[in-house]
């Protein structure tokens, strides 16, 4: 927030506190809107009406749900560890908000700088480190509840997080090689010049691996085994009710928005448009801010909607399938991609990127041919 700091003339720590407050207050209505949009979108996807009772076209349904949670009894199990039981929702939700400290939501244009709280030189490392802390909250909630279903959900959550954080981190390494920086602002600037410079084209494998791992990191279908209702009642948050349950619920959607924002920064050019900005936009500080923020939010909400589409389409994986997919498929694939990216840095971007896309196409055709052969071998009695 370089421009805002120069206008307000406030110390940097105070500006950071103001930015943190604005992000916290801003993400609450965003999360509520995502909940409502998911219910509407999944209703359309599955040919159901969706929310249509509270308010015009059901637009006030999320507000009614929030009021219901506020008025519900908030109890603690008799034999639970009360301190850990109280701290678990806080530890689970706080990292989801901390990630946005290094997220540039837009740019003021020219030399005014991007819109973010802190431009850390280790921004990507900060994101990964902070985002991994929510696993501690999952385990604390499962252990403190003194409930076998909650404990199983907590253990599943830790195993899943460890398995999918490894390929997620490896998917970033290729981007760091290409951009030469861990700063979120520098990574976006390295993708300037148009759509053809965005990293999802040069790193298609890393982009797909990140999308899969990000869905697993926020415990959403098909990777929601820590909360599998058909097996564990509600998983690690079984014993939570009222506002404590609402904190887990809120953190899931804030984390979903955060993972989409990270993908937008690393692979989709951040605030950059896919084509050159009009002169009327570049000549206005406020106009460029709305232009850049609009493109950033459009990309983020597109990825969020994609995650919702996956939830309404795919079934839940078994625990063994989930682990096999991470360790036997994603990790080898992303390691090969990292090796190829090293060659890319030596031999040129488009030669190796074209080879990656060709490899993806051949792999898809090979998988389709194997499925067709297996189907022909089936004998119908």
Contact between 75 and 241 under an 8 Å Cβ cutoff? The reply is yes
DSSP string, 193-262: TSGGGSHHHH-HHHHHHHHHHHHHHTT-TTS-GGG-HHHHTTGGGTT--HHHHHHHHHHHHHHHHHHHHH
Q: What is the pLDDT of residues 275-308, one digit of tens each?
A: 877 766 766 778 888 888 999 999 999 999 999 9
Return the pLDDT at 306.
Answer: 94
Q: What is the mean pLDDT of residues 212-239?
A: 80
Residue 174: how many CB atoms within 10 A of its CB? Answer: 26
Nearest to 343 by CA among 356, 355, 352, 332: 352
pLDDT for 77-99, tens place per residue?
A: 888 888 888 888 888 888 888 89
d(Cα 170, Cα 341) in Å, to the nearest integer? 11
Counting every residue written for the chain, the total comes to 381
What are the structure tokens assigned to 136, written together? Answer: 């501690």
Structure tokens at 346: 């030596």
β-bridge partners, 107: 114
**Who wins on pLDDT, 18 or 211?**
211
C-beta of residue 41 within 8 angstroms of C-beta of residue 305: yes
* pLDDT of 351 higher than 90: no
Q: Give the residue, 336 or 362, on which the prediction is more confident.
A: 336
Q: 381: pLDDT confidence band, cut at 50, 70 and 90?
A: very low
Please tell me the predicted confidence (pLDDT) of residue 301.
95
Confidence of residue 8 (pLDDT cuts 50, 70, 90): low
Percent share of the chain, pLDDT over 70: 88
Can you tell me whether residue 114 is helix, strand or coil? strand
pLDDT for residue 6 is more than 70: no
Structure confidence by residue, pLDDT tens digits, 232-265: 667 788 888 888 888 888 888 999 999 999 999 9
Distance CA 296, CA 263 (A): 11
Q: State residue 279's pLDDT score.
A: 66
Closest CA to 84 of 92, 94, 73, 72: 92
Contact between 336 and 173 (Cβ < 8 Å): no
Say what percent of the chain tops pLDDT 90: 20
Q: Average of pLDDT values for 295-323?
A: 90
pLDDT of res. 184: 92
Task: Round the average pLDDT of the chain to a whole number and report it.
Answer: 83
149-198 pLDDT per residue, tens: 888 888 888 888 888 999 999 999 989 988 888 999 999 999 988 888 89
């Amino acid at each position: 927030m370089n421009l805002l700091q120069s206008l307000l003339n406030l110390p940097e720590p105070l500006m950071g506190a103001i930015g943190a407050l604005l992000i916290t207050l801003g993400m609450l209505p965003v999360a509520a809107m995502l909940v409502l949009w998911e219910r509407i979108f999944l209703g359309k996807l599955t040919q159901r009406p969706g929310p249509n009772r509270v308010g015009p076209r059901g637009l006030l349904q999320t507000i009614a749900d929030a009021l219901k949670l506020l008025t519900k009894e908030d109890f603690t199990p008799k034999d639970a560890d009360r301190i850990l039981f109280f701290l678990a929702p806080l530890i689970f939700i706080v990292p989801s908000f901390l990630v946005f400290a290094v997220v540039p939501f837009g740019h003021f244009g020219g030399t005014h700088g991007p819109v973010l709280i802190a431009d850390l030189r280790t921004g990507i490392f900060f994101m990964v480190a902070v985002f991994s802390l929510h696993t501690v909250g999952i385990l604390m909630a499962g252990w403190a509840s003194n409930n076998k279903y909650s404990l199983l959900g907590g253990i599943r959550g830790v195993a899943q997080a460890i398995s999918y954080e490894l390929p997620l981190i490896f998917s970033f390494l290729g981007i760091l090689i290409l951009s030469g920086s861990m700063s979120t602002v520098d990574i976006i600037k390295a993708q300037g010049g148009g759509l053809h410079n965005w990293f999802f084209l040069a790193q298609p494998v890393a982009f797909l691996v990140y999308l899969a791992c990000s869905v697993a990191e926020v415990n959403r279908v098909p990777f929601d085994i820590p909360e599998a209702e058909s097996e564990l009642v509600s998983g690690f948050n079984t014993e939570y009710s009222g506002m404590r349950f609402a904190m887990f619920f809120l953190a899931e959607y804030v984390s979903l928005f955060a993972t989409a924002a990270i993908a937008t920064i690393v692979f989709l050019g951040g605030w950059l448009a896919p084509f050159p900005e009009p002169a009327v936009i570049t000549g206005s500080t406020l106009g460029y801010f709305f232009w850049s923020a609009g493109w950033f939010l459009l990309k983020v909400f597109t990825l969020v909607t994609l995650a919702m589409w996956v939830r309404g389409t795919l079934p839940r994986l078994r625990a063994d399938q989930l682990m096999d997919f991470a360790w036997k498929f994603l990790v080898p694939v992303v390691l090969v991609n990292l090796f190829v990216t090293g060659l890319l840095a030596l031999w040129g971007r488009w030669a190796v990127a074209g080879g990656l896309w060709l490899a993806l196409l051949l792999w898809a055709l090979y998988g389709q041919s194997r499925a067709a052969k297996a189907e022909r071998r089936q004998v119908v009695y």
